[in-house]
A and B are shown apart, each in its own frame.
Chain A
Amino acid sequence: MNPKTILRTGSLAVLIGLSACYPGGAEYVDELDVVGTAYSKQVSFSDHKTYYMSDSIPQVASDNIEDPNGDNKPDYISMSTANLITSAINRNLQNYGWSRVTDKTKADVFIMNATMQNTQIYYYYNYWYYGGYYPYYGWYYPGYYPPTYTTTRTGTLLMQMIDGKEVNGAGKAAGMWVGIINGLLEGSSGSQNARISSSIDQAFKQSPILKK
């Protein structure tokens, strides 16, 4: 067998094979949205029918987590976004047979919401690439690029259902249910709002235990 033939054919096969390394993956922002829920197995949900929920929602971000203005109060997200979130939660809870109360003493559970914003920085360097190795500047093997970095902003909405009936001696109440929604903060505010609303719907859809 001619060694050149093996080399040529082998190189072609290796290139084709390398291109197979990472097929597919997410193409759209909403494909990265994730909704997680969990509930306590030690609580009887049928005994709880009324809920109290604040209209405002605290915001936790890297620049306010240490309370830079020193007022000992959390920052809040805009009321328009808070209204979007609370109205979606209200709609779902009421569809499931819950009643909202404005008097905390009459609430069986408390819905406590919070949002978090996080920025991740990804630095990408492909060790297959060596700047001066290839003969033509600006030419790389398919799929191989010079070092680069990207940043992504992700947002998280945390919804917690706290048991108002089971408060222990230390004043702590048990968590009954939690819903977490996470996604990229990309796209227009209209598309973000639509994704938030549909994700909240999904959180309740996958939690039939809350149904009365």
Chain B
Amino acid sequence: MKKFVYILASAAMLCGARPVLAQDQEGIFNLYYSMGLATGDLHDYISRYSWRGMGMEYKSEITDNVSMGIGAEWNTFYQDMNQGTFTRDNVAITGDQFRYMNSFPMSARINYYKDNAAGLRYFAGAGIGTTYMIKALDMSIYRFTQDEWQFLIAPEAGVSYDIDASRTIFLSVKYNLNLKTKDLAGQSYLAINVGFGFR
């Protein structure tokens, strides 16, 4: 039931953002490569740095220093645990474990910008939305999967640089904090994003 609430809440936020976007004079579409560093419970499951991910977002400047928008990402975490023994109480299992986590965050975002003299544009902001998490564990010929929708809060900071009037490059660090649900602990990670923006 909760996941439907998350989806509805996210949809409401995204729909709510549209009238604001429609009033804007200038919008920017960002496309970026996304890497991931797991923290907390996700780090306990997969500690390996993720080099697999991508994202896209559309932001519209509602004032000179503030933009609002929507975006979605995909980060894949993977780790081969090699042969290990996993013990719980009076049961022990030995084998190779292959662990996967696919994360699909979707959020509405607001950012504040500050320009400097060198042409760099610093920004900080936050997103709120939902993440679809798919957790999988392969052992022997068996696969155990779990999928959950989690509520997402995603603060972000970064810097962008205008190559010309219609293109920018940017680097940002975003903390995707996904709140726990009944069947899955909170999953969080740092997303390091590098990409292009098109006006």
Which positions in A face B, CB cutoff 8 Å? 1-2, 5-6, 9-10, 13-14, 16-17, 20-26, 31-41, 120, 152, 154, 182-184, 202, 206-207
Residue of A5, A17, A34, A154 near B139 (CB, 8 A) is A34
* Closest-CB distance, B92 to chain A (whole angstroms): 4
Complex contact A17–B54 (CB within 8 A): yes
Q: Which residue of A lies closest to B199 (CB)?
A: A1
Q: Which residues of B contact A182 (CB under 8 A)?
A: 140
Complex contact A36–B92 (CB within 8 A): yes
Residue of B52, B54, B90, B199 near A23 (CB, 8 A) is B52
Given contacts A9-B31, A13-B56, contact A1 B141 (CB under 8 A): no
Complex contact B138–A26 (CB within 8 A): yes
Complex contact B29–A20 (CB within 8 A): no
* Closest-CB distance, A134 to chain B (whole angstroms): 23
Complex contact A20–B166 (CB within 8 A): no
Which residues 51-102 of B have a CB within 8 angstroms of A? 52-54, 56, 74, 76, 78, 80, 83, 85, 87, 90-96, 98, 100, 102
Complex contact A36–B31 (CB within 8 A): no
Cα distance, A34 to B138, chains bound together (Å): 11
Residue of B52, B91, B141 near A37 (CB, 8 A) is B91
Complex contact B95–A34 (CB within 8 A): yes
Complex contact A33–B140 (CB within 8 A): yes
Complex contact A20–B52 (CB within 8 A): yes
Complex contact B138–A25 (CB within 8 A): yes
Complex contact B198–A35 (CB within 8 A): no
In order of increasing CB-CB distance, the 4 nearest A-B pairs are A20-B52, A34-B95, A1-B198, A34-B140
Instruction: Classify the secondary structure of B's interface with A.
Output: strand
Complex contact B85–A206 (CB within 8 A): yes
Given contacts A13-B31, A20-B53, A183-B140, contact A39 B90 (CB under 8 A): yes
Cα distance, A23 to B99, chains bound together (Å): 10
Interface size class of B (residues with CB under 8 A): 20 to 34
* Closest-CB distance, B32 to chain A (whole angstroms): 8
Cα distance, A5 to B93, chains bound together (Å): 52
Q: Which residue of A lies closest to B198 (CB)?
A: A1
Complex contact B98–A26 (CB within 8 A): yes
Cα distance, A5 to B198, chains bound together (Å): 9
* Closest-CB distance, B85 to chain A (whole angstroms): 5
Q: Which residues of A contact B140 (CB under 8 A)?
A: 32-34, 182-183
13 residue pairs of the A-B complex, CB under 8 angstroms, read A2-B198, A6-B31, A9-B196, A13-B54, A17-B52, A22-B100, A32-B141, A36-B91, A36-B92, A36-B94, A41-B90, A120-B141, A183-B140
Q: Which residues of B contact A9 (CB under 8 A)?
A: 31, 196, 198
Cα distance, A152 to B141, chains bound together (Å): 9
Residue of B29, B74, B94 near A206 (CB, 8 A) is B94
13 other A-B residue contacts (CB within 8 Å) besides A23-B52, A25-B98, A34-B94: A1-B29, A6-B29, A6-B31, A10-B31, A10-B56, A16-B54, A23-B76, A23-B100, A33-B140, A34-B93, A38-B91, A206-B92, A207-B92
* Closest-CB distance, B165 to chain A (whole angstroms): 11
